[in-house]
Amino acid sequence: MRVLHRGGVPVSFNQGSMAEPSVKFAKQGNVGIFTLNRPKARNAVNAELAAEFEAHLEAFEADDDLWVGIVESSNDTVFCAGADLKSINAGKPVFTAKGGFAGFVQYPRTKPMIACVDGAALAGGCEIVLACDLVVASTKAKFGVPEVKRSLIAAAGGLFRLPRKLPHAIAMELLLTGDPMTCERAHALGFVNVACAPGEALKEALALAQRITANAPLAVREAKACVDEMTTRNMDQADFKRSNAGFGAIASTPDFMEGPLAFIEKRPPRWTGQRSKL
């Protein structure tokens, strides 16, 4: 059994004494580093990862000596592949009550967070990136929301955060085709703050974090709070409500079952376009 501390309250995870944590957390000066740590599962989000991520966020937010966060990956080819279908099929949540998907995308953070991407950030992985304030990515990175290819929609923030962070037509291209975007294109469009060579993303993310931590931490936090409240936070709850309603509407259709089944059977899906079974 492993114990983390959530807001000063111990939180236990029954993963066995030898189990690796699904999310590692380390401190480097005034920077907190969150590492998604399910490399063999392409860092897909399961119940344990979501719970641990939120617990680390609680501790990060409560620590006055930590001023900036970085989210990175232990997998050198995939930042995060999205939700773990095995966890979903087992009826285990990939979200938390406070943080939403991955325990992160809806978490009410007060401190800046940098996404450090050195591989593919797809589906829910891209939505984790979208929930961050800044993005550092290597040229090996790519970003995409391929949910429509499986009769799903990007309901963990992608539907409204992509059009806020990218030109409308580009966001629609990603959402409606499901095709990924390269790091180079994302950087040219202002989605990525710093583009770098493969293997250099964490070093560059720490350098960006240090540029922020050189400033007064409370002023940085207040600047973030003002921007969030004036541009996004007051809209997020309504947007998540609508996204969830859209996901529910899709979930009642035959194609909702066909998409994952075709993926498992490694064949092209046979769409019907029907709202309900005849």
More confident residue, 110 or 270: 110
Give residue 83's domain range.
2-200
The pTM of the full predicted model, rounded to 2 decimals, is 0.86
Over residues 70-81, mean pLDDT: 95
Task: Decide if 259 is inside a domain.
Answer: no
How many domains are there within the chain?
1
What is the torsion angle, in degrees rounded to the nearest 10, for the CA atoms of residue 97, residue 100, residue 106 and residue 110? 60
Q: What is the pLDDT of residue 91?
A: 80
Judge whether residue 8 has pLDDT over 50: no
Over residues 225-251, mean pLDDT: 80
Per residue in 178-229, pLDDT (tens digit) is 999 999 999 999 999 999 999 999 999 999 999 999 999 999 999 999 999 8
Q: What is the CATH number of the domain that holds 177?
A: 3.90.226.10
Q: What is the pLDDT of residue 18?
A: 62
Task: Decide if 80 is inside a domain.
Answer: yes
Judge whether residue 174 has pLDDT over 80: yes
List the catalytic residue out of 48, 52, 54, 127: 127
Task: Decide if 245 is inside a domain.
Answer: no
127 is catalytic: yes
Task: Decide if 267 is inside a domain.
Answer: no
Show Cβ contacts of residue 207 under 8 Å, excluding neighbours closer than 6 positions. Answer: none
Task: Decide if 23 is inside a domain.
Answer: yes
Per residue in 88-107, pLDDT (tens digit) is 777 888 999 999 999 999 99
Task: Decide if 229 is inside a domain.
Answer: no
Distance of alpha carbon 94 from alpha carbon 83, whole angstroms: 7
Task: Decide if 134 is inside a domain.
Answer: yes
List the catalytic residue out of 147, 173, 204, 258: 147
Distance of alpha carbon 13 from alpha carbon 16, whole angstroms: 8
Per residue in 36-59, pLDDT (tens digit) is 999 999 999 999 999 999 999 999
**Is the Cβ–Cβ distance between 45 and 85 less than 8 Å?**
no
What is the torsion angle, in degrees rounded to the nearest 10, for the CA atoms of residue 85, residue 276, residue 161 and residue 140? 40
More confident residue, 259 or 206: 206
Over residues 10-19, mean pLDDT: 48
Task: Decide if 162 is inside a domain.
Answer: yes
Q: Taking Cα atoms as reference points, which of 104, 35, 48, 109 lies closest to residue 76? A: 35
